[in-house]
A and B are shown apart, each in its own frame.
Chain A
Amino acid sequence: MKFEFSRRRMLGAVSGALAGLLSAPAARAAKATVQKVFASSGAPNGYDPYKHKWLMCFDVDKCIGCGLCVDACKTENHVPQASHYFRTWIERYIIKKPKPGSDRTRGEVLVDSPNGGRDGFPPTVVPREEILKSFFVPKLCNLCEASPCTQVCPVGATFDTPDGAVLVDPNYCIGCGFCIQACPYGCRFLNPETKTAEKCNLCYHRITRGLKPACVEICPTEARIFGDLKNPVVDDPIQAFIQKNKVFSLKPHLGTEPRVMYANLDKEVR
């Protein structure tokens, strides 16, 4: 059989092929909009990530620097014991009085975090009379709206989930460390055992089971506030906290739009 090529036929065939190629992703997208719930054997059954938006905030005035959250996080998430691997840590800020005769409002700012605050904080070497003010600042992954860490991952192993967590897929992480460099808050580290990047995942295995993250559970003063922005209950702790307090985020000038908010934050905190 001889196939006759005509202009009409060729144009028809090419446009048909183009339409097919274009409609394939659209069909896939339509499939993706069908909501997925957890169904695997180990995961909490029926958990729907689209029905939650988890968030953690801090009240700096309530943190007493006991460091129990750091210890709880290490225990819960099997974080390496060595003193430079943390998913959450506490920093102590000491702002000294200005030198006598100077017209500054505040003096030198000292920041320390011995062992991430895990063993509590030893008394400071700065005499009490020289301290203008001092406070503790708990830190963890800032859950950025425009997270630099997920943008640089070359294999798509870190991502924002629909329920507000930023997770690392340990099976796909190649340990290149780009995300560790990209995070402006220093929240990531390379696990020396698994050789994959790690960070706070809001205790994803706990929050999907209806438990609080380990650090929030352990915090004795409720300095850490955790809740669900999509919770229909009006007095959800996080919704009440954001309504009642003037909150601020860390390094807002970087445009990462952190969702982790701090109340009573001092301007010296970076």
Chain B
Amino acid sequence: MGNKLNPVGGGGWLPAGLASNQEADHMSRFKMPPQIFRLVLLTIGIVVSYLIARQLLTPASFRDFGFYRGAALEEVASRTPVYAGKKACDECHSEVLLKLAKGDHKTVSCETCHGVSQEHAGNPDITPVKLTGSHCIRCHEANPSRPAWFHQITVKNHYTGQKCTECHVPHQPNEVP
């Protein structure tokens, strides 16, 4: 860099002798003014520090699936299920499920009545929660909001004093015990 400021064009402020013999040379070459050079350096510095900061702050799995942390999917998915599911019951109790499939309760899952059975599925010695007749009422008590196709009873008019299971088989509701 020259130590003279902006000699481009050989302006009138230069000493007369210098201006006359250096003019042709200056016209053909472009000299970077120092303030522009400093601005370029500053810009590069800002961009580089931004890129470094972004590299450090962006989670590793960002953009794996989209504009978010991809590892979050696996973190959410890694929780252990609480309900075992009908398939797990089918491994040991397939005969009960076959009976169930013939009756009106075919859409009812095992854990709907028997409660959470994940522990029982892992270790058969742990018995699942056994539910009583009040559980039948939860679905079958008459309610004007329930759809008309659904079997409903008014408990106080329907064989009071007797247990549901005296007349109905929960696994085969169409049959009499």
Contacts and interface: CB of A to CB of B under 8 A. Distances in A.
Interface of A: 4-7, 10, 28, 32, 36, 38-44, 47, 49, 61-68, 72, 75-76, 92-94, 120-121, 123-124, 128, 131, 134-136, 156-157, 159-162, 167, 169-172, 201, 203-206, 208-209, 211-212, 214, 217-222
Most chain A CB atoms below 10 A, which of B86, B105, B138: B138
A75 B116 contact: yes
Interface in B53-109: 63-83, 85-87, 105, 107-109
B131 to A, nearest CB: 11
Contacts of A93: 145
Contact of B112 (A10, A169, A206, A220): A220
A-B CB proximity, top 6 nearest: A42-B78, A169-B72, A43-B74, A159-B68, A205-B79, A134-B145
A221 B83 contact: no
Interface string B139-168: 100011111011000000000000000000
A214 to B, nearest CB: 5
B77 A47 contact: yes
Given A36-B65, A39-B74, A72-B83, 12 more contacts: A7-B30, A42-B77, A43-B77, A47-B77, A64-B150, A121-B143, A156-B69, A159-B67, A201-B76, A205-B79, A206-B81, A219-B109
Contact of B107 (A43, A170, A222): A222
Contact of A49 (B65, B80, B81, B149): B65
A218 B30 contact: no
B74 A94 contact: no
B77 A169 contact: no
25 contacts: A4-B29, A38-B77, A40-B75, A42-B74, A42-B75, A61-B147, A67-B138, A93-B145, A135-B145, A156-B69, A159-B66, A159-B68, A160-B66, A169-B76, A172-B69, A172-B72, A201-B76, A206-B81, A208-B77, A209-B81, A211-B85, A211-B87, A212-B85, A219-B107, A221-B107
Contacts of A38: 73-74, 77
Contact of A167 (B31, B64, B72): B72
B5 interface: no
Dominant SS among interface residues on chain B: loop
A4 B73 CA distance: 54
B66 A162 contact: yes
Given A75-B116, A156-B67, A62 B79 contact: no
Interface of B: 29-32, 63-83, 85-87, 105, 107-109, 111-112, 116, 138-139, 143-147, 149-150
Nearest to A150: B68
Given A72-B83, A212-B85, A218-B109, A205 B139 contact: no
B141 to A, nearest CB: 8
A72 B116 CA distance: 9
Contacts of B87: 211
B49 to A, nearest CB: 15
Contacts of B143: 65, 121, 123-124
Contact of A68 (B78, B86, B138, B145): B138
